Amino acid sequence: MTVTVHHLHATENTFLVADVRGEDALAARLAARAAELCAPGRFGGADGLILLGAPPTGSDAACTMRLVNADGTDAEMSGNGIRALAHVAHGLGLAADGRLEVDTAAGRRTLDLEVGDDGVLAAATVDMGEPMFDPASIPTTAPSITGIAAEVDGIAYVGDAIGMGNPHWVLIVEDPATARVREHGPVLEHDPRFPNRTNVEFIAPTPGESDAITMRVWERGVGETRSCGTGACAAATAAHRRGLVGPRVTVHVPGGDLTVEIAARIRLRGPVVETATHTLEGA
């Protein structure tokens, strides 16, 4: 079977997206090959593979989303990845009146789409749902989600756990630019207090700006990435709870800027760009 694979990035968080509606066997084969397909030598590399599926009978969603990380493990949700999926879904005519309803492993997500004059999706705002503060829901076995401390190679870290449908550990550091993300991220990801492992954000208030933070991220099952949508939401929420920022936060990541609006539900806005399409033979 031949399948079209779209290569996209959302603030340089890169994804492959394939339309597998009505093709369950194809979806299973692609998921099993995610690590191979995301490797740098295949389609230029990607942080994850997204399978755009048909909604189950009785669902009013436009489609479903399954995200497989670059290491072949499944992830519950990606705020950047779902914008990449929305770009492809819009091109397939699945969006209605500028909105897209998507069923994910973390629940239903609704996107408001921003389409350019060329008819191509340029950006989207995602209703990311309610942040989770209950330790069991994140999940973490730490007695409190705040002030979770660790030491790696003599460097002390402290931060807060937040759930965004997937687990996050937001660490306050002096300067994310000099943080040892690649060296310490793998250790912190596997901290035993996070039974499903965790994404790890290294953040600080942005000097000279109000309501802005700077972030680098170690993504569970991927490594350091240029951006992370759920991580930006978790980081902004943690910073807001600590009184460092207001309810509308600019999150500066190496791949660009994201905007997070904090209320009972979290909203994430950011751009998305398709960079290439590829044909996969014998899928």
CB-based burial, 173-188: b 16+ in 10 Å, e otherwise: beebeebebeebbeeb
Is 160 found in the same domain as 95? no
For residue 112, give its domain range. 3-128+269-280
Contacts of 70 by beta carbon, 8 Å cutoff, 6+ apart: 34, 35, 38, 39, 46, 47, 48, 49, 221, 222, 223
Note the pTM of the prediction, 2 decimals: 0.92
Is 151 found in the same domain as 117? no
Residue 187 is predicted with a pLDDT of 98
Is 253 found in the same domain as 215? yes
Is 196 found in the same domain as 110? no
- Contact at 8 Å (CB) between 65 and 82? yes
Work out how many domains the chain is built from and give that number: 2
Is 109 found in the same domain as 70? yes
Q: pLDDT tens digits for 150-199?
A: 999 999 999 999 999 999 999 999 999 999 999 999 999 999 999 999 99
Is 68 found in the same domain as 119? yes
Is 197 found in the same domain as 94? no
* Cis preceding linkage at 139, omega within 30: yes
Is 223 found in the same domain as 111? no
User: What are the pLDDT tens digits along the chain (283 aa)?
Assistant: 899 999 999 999 999 999 999 999 999 999 999 999 999 988 999 999 999 999 988 899 999 999 999 999 999 999 999 999 999 999 999 998 899 999 999 999 999 999 999 999 999 999 999 999 999 999 999 999 999 999 999 999 999 999 999 999 999 999 999 999 999 999 999 999 999 999 999 999 999 999 999 999 999 999 999 999 999 999 999 999 999 999 999 999 999 999 999 999 999 999 999 999 999 987 7
Question: CATH code at 175?
Answer: 3.10.310.10
Residue 275 is predicted with a pLDDT of 96
Is 159 found in the same domain as 117? no
Is 274 found in the same domain as 259? no
Is 114 found in the same domain as 28? yes
Residue 282 is predicted with a pLDDT of 74
User: How far apart, in whole angstroms, are the C-alpha atoms of residue 58 and residue 66?
Assistant: 19
